[in-house]
Amino acid sequence: MTVPMTGSLQITAAAPDPALLDLPWHIPLEDWPAENLAALPRGISRHVVRFVKLSGRVIAVKEIGETVAYREYELLRALRRIGTPSVEPVGVINGRVDLEGERLETVLVTQHLQYSLPYRALFSQQSLQPDTTRRLIDALAVLLVRLHLSGFYWGDVSLSNTLFRRDAGSFAAYLVDAETGELHDRLSNGQRAYDMDVARVNIIGELMDLEAGDMLEPGVDPIEIGDRLVTRYDELWDALTGEESFGTSDRWRVAARIEHLNELGFDVGELAITTDVDGTTVSIQPKVVDAGHHSRRLLRLTGLDVEEGQARRLLNDLDAYRAATDRQGEDEEFVAHDWLTNVFEPAVRAVPRELRGKLQPAQMFHEMLDHRWYISREQGRDVPMVEAARSYAETVLRHRASEAQVLGADTAIIPRIAD
């Protein structure tokens, strides 16, 4: 929907927010007043980007050429429709002029991805967690496979064009910049290979920047990490799309292949099964795979909409609760309801209200489980979950920076060593 405004200003959005009218579109974005801005860490961008407060939420505003802005807006809408991890487009603002009548750049507006971090914000934290680099690369490999399976060619893969959310002990990666992307019915091997070549070169360069700024983990080799991305991508792509052949007496391997893909976090929507001429050999190849196996199961059972790794951890705790209460024979939905009301929700409510917004509830619960294990071992007893939650809130969470919106480091002012 395109809404014409005063003069030549136009707002193109699926659901225009009237509060957009109150923003100072007549001012260049880099000069916007502080009262409009949200204190969020910014990644590196070739364009001017600002985080802006709007109707109780935060949006990202990027100055960009008119044609590119509309193209990226439509691409992001298409990616959201097919369920790929990417930022949500809000709209395009075109026809901006300043008070002297001079033309200003068109802007693309996207919804800020809550609890997400640019990679430089993670590396700027004083207490960098072990193996952060490899966990980020593994998350990016999963994102690339998902994008390529959906037919999306990125064209400019990099850590700078990605946002990361904590996902239990790992990360989940989201595409944040699609201006060089293309959406096809299916990608060729050449397109996938080119995306991976660009990814490897860009990531090695970005990690060398961190290394030169003394921000990279000790002992990390940027070239090795670039190679790791390619290896992890190839392994996952082969697991999801590769053909497997076996004798007819080994038909159990069909179910085993599906179970393996489920363990990787993918559902099989369609599986091609063929036999040779004499019927002694069976070949199987997944034709349609869909990410989010564990998160969909948890959503169905509890209504919790979380990342895949978080869902896996919560489902494990649900299974442990089911065994501890000797309810294996009951319907899973009933047990899940009781686990939600007797375990998960009381643990989250045990966190003081002023601390709850620092992390996603599912991520807090994951970290509570780890904290409970540690203090139970130290104290030589099985610490109740609510007691562990209170201890976690006071000794761990209270000292963490908030990842909901406001973070201490503005990564836009962390200098790059090379460009």
On whether residue 419 sits in a domain, the answer given is: no
Q: Which CATH number fits the domain that encloses residue 10?
A: 3.30.200
Token pair in block for residue 203:
């990531």
| Residues 23 and 107 placed together within one structural domain of the fold | yes
Backbone angles phi, psi at 324, to 5 degrees: -65, -30
Other beta carbons within 10 Å of 314: 27
Q: Using alpha carbons, select from 307, 282, 283 the residue that is nearest to residue 295.
A: 307
Per-residue confidence of the chain (419 residues) as pLDDT tens digits? 544 444 578 999 888 888 898 899 999 999 999 999 987 766 566 788 999 988 888 999 999 999 999 999 999 999 999 999 999 999 999 999 998 989 999 999 999 998 898 988 888 765 567 688 999 999 999 999 999 999 999 999 999 999 999 999 999 999 999 999 999 999 999 999 999 999 999 999 999 999 998 888 888 899 999 999 999 999 999 999 999 998 888 888 899 999 999 999 999 989 898 988 777 888 999 988 999 999 999 999 999 999 999 999 999 999 999 999 999 889 999 999 999 999 999 999 999 999 998 999 999 999 999 999 999 999 999 999 999 999 999 999 998 877 665 443 343 433 333 33
> Cβ(267)–Cβ(292) under 8 Å?
yes
CATH number where 180 lies: 1.10.510.10
Cα(216)–Cα(63) distance, integer angstroms:
30
DSSP designation for 101:
S
275 in Cβ contact with 301 (< 8 Å) = no
**Does residue 211 sit within a domain?**
yes
Residue 192 sits in the same domain as residue 281? no
Classify residue 412: in a domain, yes or no: no
Any domain includes 86: yes
Backbone angles phi, psi at 414, to 5 degrees: -80, 115
Residues 236 and 146 reside in one and the same domain: yes
The residue from 112, 141, 165 where one domain ends is 112
Residue type, 161: N
Last residue within a domain, chosen from 112, 130, 154: 112
Q: How far apart are CA 221 and CA 175, in angstroms?
A: 25
In a domain, 381, yes or no: yes
Asked whether the beta carbons of 62 and 52 are under 8 A apart, the reply is: no
Query: In terms of domains, do 228 and 130 share one?
Result: yes
Does 418 map to a domain?
no
Q: Are 134 and 76 in a shared domain?
A: no
- Is residue 143 in some structural domain? yes
User: Could you list the residue range(s) of the whole structural domain that residue 153 is in?
Assistant: 117-241
| d(C-alpha 228, C-alpha 222), whole Å | 10
Q: Is residue 198 part of a domain?
A: yes
Question: How many Å apart are CA 382 and CA 324, to the nearest integer?
Answer: 13
Please give the tally of structural domains in the chain.
4
Domain boundary among 56, 77, 112: 112
Same domain, 210 and 248: no
Residue 201 sits in the same domain as residue 260: no
Do both 101 and 163 map to the same domain? no
Q: Are residues 49 and 104 in the same domain?
A: yes
258, 270 in Cβ contact below 8 A?
no
- pTM higher than the cut 0.85: yes
Q: What is the token pair recorded at 200? A: 């490897």
